Structure 1
Amino acid sequence: MTSFMAKSAYSQPCLRSKDGLRRVAQLRMGPMALAFCAVWLGPLCGGAVQAQSNQRPHVVLILADDLGYGDVQPLNPDSTIQTPAFNRLAAEGITFTDAHTPSAVCTPTRYGLVTGQYCWRTRLKRGVLDGYGSPLIDADRATLGSVFSDNGYRTAIVGKWHLGLGLVGGKANLDLAKPLTEFPGMNGFESSFVIPASLDFPPYAYFRDGKATTSETVDQSAVGFPAYTRQGPRAVDFELRGCLDRLTDEAVTVISGMKESDRPTMLYFPLTAPHKPVLPAKRFVGTSNRGDYGDFVRQVDATIGRVVDALESEGVLDQTIVIVTSDNGSFMYRIDEGQPDHLDDESVQGFHAASHRSNANWRGTKADVWEGGHRVPFFVRMPEKMNAGQKVNQVVGLVDVMATLADHLNLSTTDDAGPDSVSFAKLLADPNADYRRSPLVCHSVAGMFALRAGKWKMVAGNGSGGREKPKGKPFETPYMLFDLEADPGETNNIADAHPQIVQRMTLALEKIRNQN
């Protein structure tokens, strides 16, 4: 067993073993990519940040579903949607302003977060799984669940799995009376209460520790936006509008056992909202003055607030690392003035910029390779409010969560755990620390690659790879290059002016893609 060190952006990644530091660059990057990192990105890696008490802290990781960068007030002060829980996280924790999902859609981001490996290394090269998708995580792949469980943690998942379940009978002959053949319990999570996929994908059912809570179903009809659902079986105990509250009840139950347990707890809580169907609980309807979508964002915020309040009431908040982020940007478009938006017609999936900017000023939406597709809210509340109110403007990725937590908590891991995960633990200890990540890959729904290296972003294709036109095609030239410091809106393609940078970044991307 080994434990992660801070795999620096500027040198060879390294792991610490019983025999001391051991270079494992060949597991992560080829020499040309490493040379690129050294030239463009910075200094050597720092040491691991140790847990600050004999008892390791609890960890609660909350993943919102399709929550945009501009949906939360700490990142979009112009927003009129009240987000008191996010405001509290910003005041008591660390706000990361340049955090990115490995993909601009659900399944591949969740895979990268849970395994520390880019999803495009698996069979899923584009798109997402549906509710009947077969399990995506290999049996021997390390996960957050297995890493924490192997290190003495009580591990639990509550919420949207979307990484494939072993449903008996599949779509044609679904049999909910039979236990799942594969479920999160086989990926290191000791307890699990999950739904298969997004809340618009059948089958609509709850599964506790590999068994459906009921096998009795009714037919759910297809419904248009905002209450968007697909036709399929729905368990009789599954109520779409009440799903988020039901999951939150389960998460709070896990929290209620933290104080009395003889082991620290790691809770992974992937939410179902504000992803479609946009069905806020009745008590939130009309509370945002920004339509059903705004009301749903209010419920997401309240859900996070309820979790934080539960930790506080149990007396464990200041012994807990709380991470709150999103799996990709919002699906809400920016609608041109003069056309109806969501406030004029609830069936419209978008806002005028003057009404609300779900993805702030970033270009594009969910599914796109543009910043709006993968730059997301990311907040970390440390025990005892360490570094409260601080901001980090350095690039980090959700794929880095495994390495970061293992590094910070000094967790033992196998050599092949989190092969694409890079620790930013030093930023948790000191948000002003000198840190530059090695090139980070972001991916669109259609398989368009982007590479981020410092201020530079290269798109290896000729379009969004998602929803915004032109969609383009992966690896179709001309490639695009943006200086995000000078041009955060990605309006000016400067590839022609910097051919050497494009060449170096193209080479670095190919080296990363060709790693096993």
Structure 2
Amino acid sequence: MSDSDYKLSRRAFSGAVGAGAAAASVGLPASAAHAAPTAAESTAERPFRSAADRHSSRPNILFILGDDLGWADLSCYGSPHIRTPHLDRLAAQGVRFTDGYAGSSTCSPTRISLYTGRYPGRVEAGLAEPIQGDGPGLEPTHPTLASLLRGAGYTTAMIGKWHCGELPDYSPTKSGWEEFFGNFGGSLEYYSKLAEGGHYDLYEGETEYKDLRYYTQIITERASEFIRRDHQQPWLLNLNFTTPHWPWIAEGDTEEAARLEKLIRTVPPEQTTYVLAHTDGGSLDTYRQMVEGLDRSIGQVLQALTDSGQAENTLVVFSSDNGGERFSHSWPLTGGKDTLLEGGIRVPTILRWPSRIDGNQVSDVPVFTPDWTATLLEVGGARPDPATPLDGVSLAGYLLRGQDAPRRDLFWRQETERALRRGKWKYHRAEKAKMPVNNGKDVLFDVKADPHECADRSAHEPELLAELKAAWEKVDAGLLPYPAA
């Protein structure tokens, strides 16, 4: 892997910043015309503003997750029909990562990788892809982003989707978050709050909370209220939207919501998942409305930050828990949720921290979910627990101190699929005809030149293929095995 994979001349980067600033000045997303980076957009040698003579206090941390949001579902990532002005503005005010990845291609494992900073396969709950019903959850004894930051003096809260285990054994408030308001499971009908199994799933702490309004707006209000409080210490807020996860219910579509609610109440509990999956509903336009509604909600939360005077020293990260679903747009990537092809794991990723990092920047450095855990712990002044070492790498040196981007492998494992990225190269294998194009075969892609993963380069680079395969197997040997079928 050469230096050119991560570096660009200062002059070329300055040109990219200028173009982004011009776009932002008229309210357009920076780099909106480019879903993938051009040479002039790529990462600079030291693209990020120095920490010298900047605000030195620890930041508030707002980590926002979309749910099943595809890589190109935002207009600043190239969506042809969805307009997301608030997220576009967030990107224009900070850094847009073109090669940001989720820790997994399904919900629960990615969330576990964020909360622990480790590969999902380090813990039993991470083997469920995703957690369903009363399966295993994230053990309360395991250190988390919240428990470690709380130990360092942060106020911690989670609003929205947890999906890392059910009551009574598992809960955000058992794993380091002082406050929780949201849903425990993987999906719910947006108005009735009925979830898989047919039970009601909206809680404050560990107590049911009745509110039959549209869910996205409810948690938007809660997040805004949390932000506007008179905080006496820095805070961490995990804001986990269910939008745009199925069922495909846009705000105001109460007729379809009522139809689904009736079905959920009518069918046996084991069939409720199929009702919520909503295979007989949805459309591109409904999906557009859902994503644009998510964008408006995020705009409201960011406005609360501005109104409260906290925006300057709040580090905001926006991402998705995995790639897109049925109506998502991920071009030019192949695959989607539940696959380790690029469309299943590459996700929109945006960072903003006005007091420390300049805006209008685009980075093509590969980063993934566990890196954010390591980064946030470092900037928050919290130390990882040596008994549960992190698999992510802190990006603080790269973002704040002008250091080179970290060079290491990104690793993914699912029960029937594997992938590893090193620089521009990606090793991949899928079993059981999951990917007919390369079923059971070790393949190698140059995902910089071929993000569509069409040209298998394994015959051209057999030594590299063997090296990456061995690297994947070395990590895998240290993880928990999947339960026997």
Same fold at TM > 0.5: yes
Q: 1:323 to 1:483 in 2, by over 3 A?
A: same
Q: Secondary structure at the match of 2:466?
A: helix
Gaps (5+ residues) in structure 1? 1-9, 11-47, 167-179, 214-236, 333-349, 351-356
1:204 alignment partner in structure 2: 200
Tell me the distance in 2 between the aligned counterparts of 1:164 and 1:49. 39
1:301 alignment partner in structure 2: 295
Tell me the distance in 2 between the aligned counterparts of 1:158 and 1:212. 14
Preserved CA contact (<8 Å) 1:395 1:436: no
Q: 1:470 to 1:497 in 2, by over 3 A?
A: closer
Tell me the distance in 2 between the aligned counterparts of 1:88 and 1:307. 13
2:471 alignment partner in structure 1: 508
Q: 1:463 to 1:481 in 2, by over 3 A?
A: farther
1:310 aligns with 2:304: yes
Q: Secondary structure at the match of 2:127?
A: coil
Q: 1:499 to 1:406 in 2, by over 3 A?
A: same
Letter matched to residue 369 of structure 2? L
Preserved CA contact (<8 Å) 1:363 1:490: yes
Match of 2:238 among 268, 273, 296: 268
Letter matched to residue 412 of structure 1? R
- Greater Cα shift, 494-503 or 153-162: 494-503
Q: 1:385 to 1:404 in 2, by over 3 A?
A: closer
Q: 1:368 to 1:161 in 2, by over 3 A?
A: same
1:334-353 per-residue CA deviation (whole Å, 9 max, x = no partner) reads xxxxxxxxxxxxxxxx4xxx
Match of 1:244 among 213, 216, 229: 216
Q: 1:471 to 1:111 in 2, by over 3 A?
A: farther
Q: 1:438 to 1:67 in 2, by over 3 A?
A: same
- Greater Cα shift, 110-119 or 382-391: 382-391
Match of 1:65 among 58, 61, 67: 67
Within a 5 Å distance, the mapping from 1:463-502 to structure 2 comes to 465=434, 469=436, 472=439, 476=440, 478-502=441-465
Q: Secondary structure at the match of 1:420?
A: coil
Q: 1:137 to 1:437 in 2, by over 3 A?
A: farther
1:455 aligns with 2:424: yes
- Displacement of 1:505 after TM fit? 0.8
Preserved CA contact (<8 Å) 1:194 1:208: yes
Preserved CA contact (<8 Å) 2:134 2:166: yes
2:104 alignment partner in structure 1: 103
- Displacement of 1:104 after TM fit? 0.6
- Displacement of 1:51 after TM fit? 11
Within a 5 Å distance, the mapping from 1:214-293 to structure 2 comes to 237-239=210-212, 242-257=214-229, 260-282=230-252, 290-293=284-287
Q: 1:142 to 1:503 in 2, by over 3 A?
A: same
2:367 alignment partner in structure 1: 396
1:285-304 per-residue CA deviation (whole Å, 9 max, x = no partner) reads 9xxx9510010010111111
- Displacement of 1:433 after TM fit? 4.6
Tell me the distance in 1 between the aligned counterparts of 2:438 and 2:433. 5
1:192-223 per-residue CA deviation (whole Å, 9 max, x = no partner) reads 1120122244333212122222xxxxxxxxxx
Tell me the distance in 1 between the aligned counterparts of 2:347 and 2:84. 15
Tell me the distance in 2 between the aligned counterparts of 1:51 and 1:114. 32
Tell me the distance in 2 between the aligned counterparts of 1:389 and 1:190. 35
CA RMSD of aligned residues (A): 2.8
1:56-80 per-residue CA deviation (whole Å, 9 max, x = no partner) reads 111000000011111101111x522
Q: 1:256 to 1:96 in 2, by over 3 A?
A: same
Compare the two structures and name the one with the higher strand fraction: 1
Within a 5 Å distance, the mapping from 1:74-223 to structure 2 comes to 74-76=76-78, 79-123=80-124, 124-130=126-132, 132-166=133-167, 180-200=168-188, 201-202=195-196, 203-213=199-209
Q: Secondary structure at the match of 2:241?
A: strand
Compare the two structures and name the one with the higher helix fraction: 2
Letter matched to residue 189 of structure 1? W
1:126-177 per-residue CA deviation (whole Å, 9 max, x = no partner) reads 52112x33452223311111011011000000000000022xxxxxxxxxxx
Q: 1:441 to 1:464 in 2, by over 3 A?
A: farther
Q: Secondary structure at the match of 1:412?
A: coil
Q: Secondary structure at the match of 1:481?
A: strand
